[in-house]
């Protein structure tokens, strides 16, 4: 017979309260009247009367080694049960089987609950409307977005209002100050309001150098320390970051070092944002975009669409101060001189420019994704920005005319590798050198680059592939023929001019006669 449950006893007592007849109440509760009488004589339920089992139904397979196991757990509480079990099998071959792993893990789990070290306690925080905006960077490479068919590894600078979950994002290449500055400005312009605090993690864009207790005690106005969510002093704020935050009337705030959970709202929203974008990309049917600006605008449209449905946004906006300042400049600017190599050095990276600018002082505006070169008040050049240091971007279109005048410089040019747009061009040079010799092959290769600079690189590359597949030498004249480019008209041969000096003597004689 099945054991009586708490539900049956509860039904029994309800029936007895109605009519007080034991037999009827026992029948409706589906139990024997003797059993019903037992539970009516006590105020407890069956679950209260059940005694805990203190005996084992089978022999403890780890009894012989359990003392040594607990000793190891006491000395090193961070040991994992799985690792300990495999180690036990190695030390005691033939005694333990792989099928006992789960049993061992349960035993270790019970021991850790009774005798192990205390685990970290998380304290959920209450957010105040309009109090803070959290900002974080997250990699978006997993979305597999391409720009005009090419891979586009990048990050999203993600801003979140924790109370209402309003969010916004901008595209960036790295966790730089320029990216942070652009993200903050874009988000605040969208809001039209300003929260009291701006909160980030301890990224190098906002903070630097861990500060010791001695430095904290000697705090001065010139050295402002960060404070995390709990008022702990951690790192120093960067001067530029302070200028940006206070330009908008906010106060800076960060999290404790290694305490990413204190930035938990934006951290959790990062994954939610990327999942949402992935679903919209699947619905779109394509992950390719014509430009970075088009991709960023698409992301921001998705954010706006979701923000409209968040009911608490209006209440949060009402609690914030209105935005009353102009946007902080989204670029850095420096003055530099174009070297005789026709290059600019910007933040330890090298960029080529047209040779007509050699020796000129130019202003370079440094944005997160690009550079603008200005001269005499006019923007004359846009360049993609390089990440890191000691990188170079040499555009063969800038220097090919000069190389054709000094073809000998190509062989040992410091940035020679940048003059190969793709592996096809390496193959073309190798084929030319094999057929024409190194010197003539290099000259003809430069003619190919010159042709690509004045037509379309993709057309020239396609012609090179076709010629090499046919086993022909990819000379510049052959490529021109494939592209339908006519050779320049030949200059007709002209006989050298023969001068008869006796005619000049006659002119001189006539002039003297007239004078007399």
Query: What are the pLDDT digits (tens) for 305-349?
Result: 999 999 899 999 999 999 988 877 888 899 999 999 999 999 999
Quick one: which H or E segment has residue 134?
A: strand 132-139
% of the chain surpassing 90 pLDDT: 60
Write the DSSP assignment of 353-407 as a string of letters. Answer: --GGGTT-EEEEEE-SSEEEEEETTEEEEEEEPPPSSS-EE--HHHHHHHHHHSG
* Helix 457-469 / helix 423-436 crossing angle, nearest 10 deg: 50
Which two structure tokens, joined as six digits, stand for 485?
A: 């480019």
Among the listed residues 390, 344, 386, the one whose alpha carbon sits nearest the alpha carbon of residue 363: 344
Beta strands in 315-358 (DSSP E): 321-322, 332-337, 343-346, 349-352
CA 268 to CA 278: how far, in whole Å?
16
pLDDT of residue 210: 53
pLDDT digits 0-9 by tens, 371-410: 999 999 999 999 999 988 889 999 999 999 999 999 999 9
- Determine the pLDDT at residue 77: 87
Contacts with 80 (C-beta within 8 Å, 6 or more apart), sequence order: none
Return the CATH architecture of domain 132-322.
2-Layer Sandwich (3.30)
- Spell out, as residue ranges, where the chain has pLDDT lower than 70: 1, 53-55, 122-125, 208-235, 256-264, 486-491, 507-516
Beta bridge partners, 384, equal: 370
- The per-residue pLDDT for 213 is 44
Confidence at residue 220, expressed as pLDDT on a 0 to 100 scale: 39
Nearest to 274 by CA among 364, 145, 147: 145
Pairing of strands 370-375, 378-384: antiparallel
pLDDT computed for residue 326 by the predictor: 80
Q: Which pLDDT does position 430 carry in this prediction?
A: 95
HSE toward the beta carbon, residue 366, CA cutoff 13 A: 19
Confirm if 460 and 479 have CB atoms less than 8 A apart. yes
Neighbouring CB atoms inside 10 A of 327's CB total 15
Predicted local distance difference test score (pLDDT) of residue 42: 86
> 336 with 361: CB under 8 angstroms?
yes
- Determine how β-strand 251-254 pairs with β-strand 197-200: parallel
Give the per-residue pLDDT at 55: 65
By C-alpha distance, which of 456, 458, 296, 422 is closest to 370? 296
In DSSP terms, which residues pair with 326 in a beta bridge?
Answer: none
């Amino acid at each position: 017979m099945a054991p009586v449950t708490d539900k049956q006893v509860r039904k029994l007592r309800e029936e007895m309260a109605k009519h007080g007849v034991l037999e009827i109440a026992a029948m409706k509760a589906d139990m024997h009247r003797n059993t019903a009488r037992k539970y009516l004589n006590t105020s407890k339920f069956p679950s209260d009367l059940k005694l805990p089992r203190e005996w084992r139904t089978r022999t403890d397979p780890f009894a012989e080694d359990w003392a040594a196991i607990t000793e190891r757990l006491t000395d090193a509480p961070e040991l994992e049960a799985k690792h300990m079990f495999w180690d036990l099998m190695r030390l005691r071959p033939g005694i333990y089987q792989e099928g006992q792993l789960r049993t061992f893990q349960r035993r270790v789990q019970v021991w850790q609950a009774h005798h192990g070290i205390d685990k970290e306690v998380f304290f959920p925080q209450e957010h105040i409307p309009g109090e803070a905006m959290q900002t974080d960077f997250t990699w978006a490479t997993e979305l597999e977005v391409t720009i005009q068919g090419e891979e586009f590894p990048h990050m999203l600078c993600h801003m979140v209002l924790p109370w209402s979950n309003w969010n916004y994002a901008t595209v960036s290449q790295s966790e730089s100050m320029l990216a942070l500055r652009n993200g903050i400005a874009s988000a605040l312009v969208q809001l039209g309001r300003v929260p009291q605090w701006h909160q980030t993690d301890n990224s190098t864009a906002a903070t630097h150098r861990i500060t010791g207790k001695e430095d904290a005690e000697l705090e001065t106005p010139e050295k402002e320390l960060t404070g995390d969510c709990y008022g702990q002093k951690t790192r120093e704020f960067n001067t530029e970051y302070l200028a940006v935050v206070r330009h908008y009337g906010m106060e800076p705030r960060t999290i404790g070092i290694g305490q990413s959970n204190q930035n938990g709202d934006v951290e959790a929203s990062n994954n939610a944002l990327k999942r949402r974008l992935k679903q919209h990309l699947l619905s779109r049917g394509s992950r390719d975009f014509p430009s970075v600006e088009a991709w960023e605008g698409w992301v921001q449209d998705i954010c706006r669409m979701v923000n409209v449905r968040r009911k608490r946004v209006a209440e949060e906006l009402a609690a914030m101060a209105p935005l009353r300042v102009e946007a902080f400049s989204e670029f850095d600017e420096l003055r530099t001189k174009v070297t005789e190599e026709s290059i600019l050095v910007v933040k330890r990276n090298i960029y080529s420019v047209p040779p007509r600018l050699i020796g000129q002082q130019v202003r370079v505006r440094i944005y997160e994704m690009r550079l603008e070169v200005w001269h005499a008040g006019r923007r004359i050049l846009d360049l993609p920005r390089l990440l890191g240091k000691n990188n170079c971007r040499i555009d063969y279109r800038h220097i090919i005319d000069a190389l054709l005048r000094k073809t000998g410089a190509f062989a040992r040019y410091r940035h020679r590798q940048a003059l190969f747009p793709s592996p096809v061009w390496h193959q073309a040079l190798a084929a030319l050198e094999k057929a024409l010799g190194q010197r003539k092959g290099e000259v003809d290769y430069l003619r190919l680059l010159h042709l690509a600079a004045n037509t379309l690189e993709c057309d020239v590359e396609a012609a090179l592939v076709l010629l090499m597949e046919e086993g022909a030498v990819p000379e510049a004249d052959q490529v021109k023929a494939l592209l339908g480019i006519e050779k320049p008209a030949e200059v007709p041969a002209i006989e050298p001019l023969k001068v008869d000096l006796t005619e000049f003597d006659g002119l001189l004689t006539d002039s003297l006669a007239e004078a007399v």
